[in-house]
Structure 1
């Protein structure tokens, strides 16, 4: 397969060299709202600070867990600004923490506008879904051209977001992903499709379409296959479950890097068990679990926007969530306590 040579970049932003995102856990943050249905700034700050303290590598704003489709452009910008400001205050490093903003729209024009607005608000990268509204008549060539056009015009480096459920069933195969990845400003992929074979092919083949450069980030999109992705050479995870158990997700990566595979497998089993109700109930289920993991103060802000409603706290869904996540909750609590003791 021949690599696609993109058009020459012209603006100063587009000429800047890109580097691969750091390995590790990236968290697609939930969106928090006040009882008056406004963006809850303090809750957003608390969650961003909590995640940074847990050792995650970066944050994702306006992913599928972030309810971007329920927000105005002004609200979306506000949340990026709040998170970027919190990250600056919570980190001492001079190396910027990646803040990846979901910028997908159905047209090239609006997607590029969202990329510009996100950069102005403090984002460092853009996460882009394929345009799936007209899934029945859009071709692979058109999808590749769309991503390359976004990358040509976006001031932010681009990550591909392959999540068929959020793109009207569009599931990009590895050949199409590699064609898109040939563009030098497409710098990563989030594979929420759950296809670990696709992930392995991307890891093995993407340097060939990028001139031998190791500057492309390949990550699974769910916490139930963090270890599987690492074993085949993936670089980490972008997982909504890490809103609840960031330390456990980070620990899987650390155990793998240390060669402690038996412990990594055992922890992965527990994380996968806990992630299952989160997958079943989506962001509504993750929000319902926030008070269990992070305290009762998070109950009022972790309410989904209409048309979604909170799960009944005494209902079977919440009981299923509590039962399925109890093991990883105990692990997360122990990891937090150990970190606090070590910091004393």
Structure 2
């Protein structure tokens, strides 16, 4: 297993253990992409101590974006990072499509726009026609032809229940251009099996450099204790410093302190999970004054819902506001 690409030249910005945020997408009132808000949010997350950032994850409304808008957002994020001095921070782009051909095309677009890695779901529209071997071949073909390394995105809820097991991901990890996974399935047993098989990078050891990431902040400690590399979490859009602090406390051996903070983070994460993208952006507006609304047909929250999501995230925001930026 290697972080080098299939052509022998891996990206200059290496993935390292830590916390990664799948950034929400920002739109103006007319639903055009809001580049200014994208840049502002990107820098806020970088200052909080992210070890990588993701555009066009599930929180980034990838399915609502055109190919050109995907490139526009990636370019805006990369420029914002570079202008703010975060030139070494890696950028991951969601590059999921239903055909191998289009997925490869999205990976090429992502690289051209400034992304270093691609996060990719398995195809699912013709689920009943796919054997396990077809899904494995999809990733192998994609990784062979993609100009940037691939991270496997295992999120059964987004792909008609397709759930790659540990044996499948361990097999795919042998490909030199597949460098990690995000397990939004929440299966820590699976994570443990994968992490130890691939000698995943951890807070205390780089090992193979392979990233075995959990997909939700409510099991950050469980992920790290199981040998994982960190978390890619939507809660980080609201409380990036708090998410990073749990990781840092564990890495410093302050497990009891990490457990106490994890409890607050887990409660906050439930608010994000329950509210979805619309609830997350509503809470961002209530607590931080920016965020905007999602693209239709995602609903705009009612006043009652705005109040609910504000209250649901109040505790984690209080913790967030008490913490200093890491950079």
Is the TM-score greater than 0.5? yes
Q: What is the aligned counterpart of 2:250 among 250, 256, 259?
A: 256
**Aligned pair 1:195/2:183, yes or no?**
no
Displacement after TM superposition at 1:42 (Å) = 0.6
Aligned equivalent of 1:306, options 285, 288, 296: 296
Return the match for 2:9 from 1, 7, 16: 16
Quote the Cα distance in structure 1 between the aligned partners of 2:166 and 2:152.
Answer: 12
Please state how far the C-alpha of 1:180 moved relative to its aligned partner. Answer: 1.2
- The answer to whether the 8 Å contact 1:14/1:154 transfers is no
Identify the residue that residue 139 of structure 1 maps to in structure 2. 131
1:17, CA displacement in angstroms? 4.1
Structure 1-normalised TM-score? 0.88
Residue 132 of structure 1 aligns to a residue whose secondary structure is coil
Match of 1:99 in 2: 91
In 2, distance between residues paired with 1:20 and 1:183? 17
Matched, 1:171 2:163: yes
| Deviations 1:159-204 (CA, angstroms, capped at 9, x unpaired) | 0000011111101111111111111110000000111111111111
Matched, 1:323 2:317: no
Contact 1:30 1:67 in 2 (8 A): yes
Equivalences for residues 141-290 of structure 1 within 5 A:
141-207=133-199, 214-290=208-284
Over residues 80-124 of structure 1, what are the superposed CA-to-partner deviations in whole Å (9 max), with x where a residue is unaligned?
Answer: 00001011112256xx21100001100000000000010000000
Partner Cα separation in structure 1 for residue 106 and residue 243 of structure 2: 30
For residue 309 of structure 1, report the CA deviation from its aligned partner.
1.9
| Structure 1 stretches lacking a partner, 5+ long | 4-8
Q: 1:84 to 1:276 in 2, by over 3 A?
A: same
For 1:164 and 1:188, locate their aligned partners in 2 and report how far apart those are by CA, in whole Å: 17
| Structure 1 match to 2:203 | none
Q: CA deviation at 1:292?
A: 3.1
CA distance in structure 2 between the partners assigned to 1:160 and 1:321 by the alignment: 31
User: Residues 121-156 of structure 1, C-alpha deviation per residue, up to 9 Å, x if partnerless?
Assistant: 000000010111112221111111100100000000
Q: Within 5 Å, which residues of 2 pair with 1:119-138? A: 119-138=111-130
Displacement after TM superposition at 1:20 (Å): 5.9
Q: How many residues align?
A: 319
1:20 and 1:187 in contact (8 A); partners too: no
CA shift at 1:322, angstroms?
2.5
2: CA distance, partners of 1:20 / 1:181: 17
CA distance in 2, matches of 1:322, 1:236: 27
Other structure's SS at 1:136 match: helix
Bigger Cα Rg: 1
Normalising by the residue count of structure 2, what TM-score does the alignment of the two structures yield? 0.93
Kept after mapping to 2: 8 A contact 1:274/1:327: yes
Runs of 5+ in structure 2 lacking a partner? 201-205
Where 1:14 maps in the other structure, the secondary structure is coil
- Residues 234-272 of structure 1 show CA distances to partners (whole Å, capped at 9, x for unaligned) of 111000110000000000011001111111011111111
